Chain A
Amino acid sequence: AQKVTQAQTEISVVEKEDVTLDCVYETRDTTYYLFWYKQPPSGELVFLIRRNSFDEQNEISGRYSWNFQKSTSSFNFTITASQVVDSAVYFCALSEGWQTSYDKVIFGPGTSLSVIP
C-alpha cells in the first residue's frame, strides 16, 4: 500500500533562514513518481516538482532544492533563504501508475510553513 508521511505538521522560521521539509514514503512498486506541491492561503495547488523513481539526482531550482534518497525512502525539500511569500502548506505526494491507465496520487498530510519577517 502507498503511504506518504510528513512528520512536521508546522514549522516557523525567520526570514532568510534555510528550512527543510521532510517527506518519507512507502510503496511496493519499483516504479513510481514523487511530487511536491505548494498550497498558499488562496487554496490553489502549485506544482513544484515531479521526480521518477529511477532518477535519484538531486535537483535545484532557484532557492528550492530536493534530495531524493531511495535507500531511506525520503524526498526532502529545502528552501534556502526563506521569504515571507514561501509561507504556505507544502504537500509531498506519491503516484504509482505505470501499470494502470491512470495515476492515483496519494498526498501526505502536509507541512504548514510560516516565514516570519
Chain B
Amino acid sequence: GAVVSQHPSRVICKSGTSVKIECRSLDFQATTMFWYRQFPKQSLMLMATSNEGSKATYEQGVEKDKFLINHASLTLSTLTVTSAHPEDSSFYICSGQRQGPADTQYFGPGTRLTVL
C-alpha cells in the first residue's frame, strides 16, 4: 500500500510556457503533500508543503507565484511551474503523508522537466 503516482513522468517545454505536474495518492488519503526539487547529482530540496483545502507553505527562497501548488483533494496535488525558464529544469518529486505527525512520507516516481 501507500503508492503515489506522478504525471507526466517526463516533460519538455519551451521557455515561457507553463507546466502542470500532478501528484496522486492511489491507495491512501494524503492529508499533507510535499513537493521537492532535485538538481542533477544533488539532494532533494523541499519546495513547499500543502494541506488539503488550504494554501501551501513555501520554503524560503521558493517563489510562490512561480510554483503554484493546489491540493484540491485528499488524493491530488498539482504543481504548476509558470513561465518556465531553463533554470527550472529539474527533477520534481512529490510525496504524500497519510496522517499527522510521525507518519512516513511516500514518494512519487518523479517528473523530469526540461525547459528549452
Contacts and interface: CB of A to CB of B under 8 A. Distances in A.
Q: How large is the interface on B (under 10, 10 to 19, 20 to 34, 35 or more residues)?
A: 20 to 34
B43 A107 contact: yes
Interface stretch (A20-28, A64-72, A93-101): A93-101
Interface of B: 31-32, 34, 41-46, 49, 51, 91, 93, 95, 97, 100-110, 112
Interface of A: 33, 35, 37, 42-45, 47, 50, 52, 91, 97-110, 112
Contacts of B34: 105
Contacts of B46: 104-106
Contacts of B45: 107
B103 A103 contact: yes
A38 to B, nearest CB: 11
A103 B109 contact: no
